Amino acid sequence: MSNERSIGWKTCAFSELDARTWHDIVKLRIDVFVVEQNCPYPELDGLDLDALHVIGFDTQQRPVAYCRILPPQQDGLPHIGRVVVDNAHRRSGLGKQLMLEALRSVKHQFGSPRSALAAQAYLQRFYEGFGYRVSSDVYPWDGIPHIDMVRGESDLT
């Protein structure tokens, strides 16, 4: 299990990622979203190039928590996505730490805590804990029920 002291955080642009770190991030995302969740989908969608990457490293400098922040979309909001924690580090509070890092990065980069995400529907309460509110009905995305959620200016936790 991880704890706060054993995780190092980094937020960076794609151009700042070295090849090994990028490889390990893609492996983590595929291991969880494609293999574990049995959901074949186009993992490399071209959006990583313009995203901010929030990475939690363990003591061996391996990514064990990750998400990306896409620049503001048509709705004017940055979007947090690909939120993932390595299986061995789940239920340790690392997902909460990851979201707090992501929200700090959103505020630092875009000047506001406002943001959006497409959540797997079963994680609705988790994201509500960070001030997100449901903004759509449940819909299937790559065979998994999702909901859109938005965090406003005053939705602070």
Provide DSSP, the chain. ---GGG-EEEEEEGGG--HHHHHHHHHHHIIIIIIITT----S--S-GGGSEEEEEE-TTS-EEEEEEEEPP-TTS--EEEEEEE-GGGTTTTHHHHHHHHHHHHHHHHHSSS-EEEEEEGGGHHHHHTTT-EE-S--EEETTEEEEEEEE-TT---
Asked if the model's pLDDT at residue 3 lies above 50, the reply is no
Cα dihedral 85→17→22→84 (10° resolution): 20
- Fold of the domain spanning 4-151: Aminopeptidase (3.40.630)
Residue type, 109: Q
The per-residue pLDDT for 155 is: 53
| 44-92 tens-digit pLDDT | 999 999 999 999 999 999 999 999 999 998 999 999 999 999 998 998 8
For the chain, what are the domain ranges? 4-151
Q: What is the pLDDT of residues 4-45, one digit of tens each?
A: 558 999 999 999 999 999 999 999 999 999 898 888 888 899
